[in-house]
Amino acid sequence: MALQTALINVMEKAVKKAGIRLARDFGEVEHLQVSRKGPADFVSKADLKAEKTLVEELKTARPQFGFILEEGEDIPPQDGNNSVWIIDPLDGTTNFLHGIPHFAISVALEQGGEVTAGVVYNPITDDMYWAEKGRGAYLNNRRLQVSSRKNLTDCLLATGIPFHGSPHQGTFITNLEHIMGEVAGVRRFGAASLDLAWVAAGRYDGFWEEGLSPWDIAAGMLLVREARGMVSEFDGRSKMMQTGQILATNGAIHGSVTRLLSNARKAHKEKMK
């Protein structure tokens, strides 16, 4: 059984409290699907309520820490502190909106520009993924390790499809064309934090996406690394939090997928000529 630190206990308490309310609100969404008004307004309120709960809980426990928030305004740390919570109160909003029980709360702690702790929680399944730098990654109390598959033809990868109007739609299609013929399958479940958690758990062998925000990937990146996987940009660089571009794998296939994405990038440039 994994021995959790006080910090992880604080994070888990916050996401579980927010998760109870999200799960309750999720039950209401299915009723709203058939209403004339529809569930969109309700979901945005559920998102805001979850973020408010997280901020209140974390601020009570660590009053000097700052916040980077998806919904609200960022809050700087106090008294020269360099610790900042990075929060996504509802990753997978579209799934939530349509009554699909695949979404998560993601909370990461960044200290001195480095993510040192992360939690990704699905309140419907009660799956709590957590990691702390140097202490490994876990699903509830079970230690996680990435898969050991080395041949792309045996591998299952995940990705995210850009929303309508996204500038990444063209490159996504080219990336997919280059990857899907080389692997066992590609999945798109609609919550980047859970995709990364599933790479850490060995369910996926890799995940790629671009156009993401820090709160989408901060906790998940740490999970993958602490489960002995690899995380980078498509070209191997390491500014994922700044660029929003991420490739996370079990490590064994990282070079192969990087090459496929490089070939896709060249092909897309040729198309644009």
Distance, CA of 43 to CA of 92 (rounded, Å)? 11
pLDDT of 138 above 60: yes
Dihedral sign, CA of 225, 227, 228, 230? negative
Same domain, yes or no: 102 and 184: no
Residues spanned by the domain of 73: 6-143
Same domain, yes or no: 60 and 162: no
- Kindly report, residue by residue over 193-246, the tens digit of the pLDDT: 999 999 999 999 999 999 999 999 999 999 999 999 999 999 999 999 999 999
The residue out of 143, 167, 198 marking a domain boundary is 143
Same domain, yes or no: 169 and 115: no
Q: How many domains is the chain built from?
A: 2
φ and ψ at residue 230, rounded to 5 degrees: -125, 145
Check which CATH number belongs to the domain holding 57 and give it: 3.30.540.10
Same domain, yes or no: 118 and 213: no
Same domain, yes or no: 248 and 184: yes
pLDDT of 36 above 50: no
Same domain, yes or no: 25 and 114: yes
pLDDT of 121 above 60: yes
pLDDT at 99: 86
pLDDT at 22: 93
pLDDT of 135 above 80: yes
Distance, CA of 159 to CA of 251 (rounded, Å)? 17
- Is residue 263 situated within a structural domain? yes
Same domain, yes or no: 158 and 68: no
- Kindly report, residue by residue over 38-84, the tens digit of the pLDDT: 556 667 788 889 999 999 999 999 999 999 998 888 999 998 889 99
The residue out of 82, 112, 143 marking a domain boundary is 143
Same domain, yes or no: 30 and 135: yes
The residue out of 114, 143, 172 marking a domain boundary is 143
Check which CATH number belongs to the domain holding 227 and give it: 3.40.190.80
User: In the sheet that 246-249 helps form, which strands lie side by side, from edge to edge?
Assistant: 185-187, 156-159, 206-209, 246-249, 230-232
pTM score of the predicted model: 0.93
As a whole number of Å, the CA-based R_g of the chain is: 18
- Kindly report, residue by residue over 150-208, the tens digit of the pLDDT: 999 999 999 998 876 667 677 888 899 999 999 999 999 999 999 999 999 999 999 99
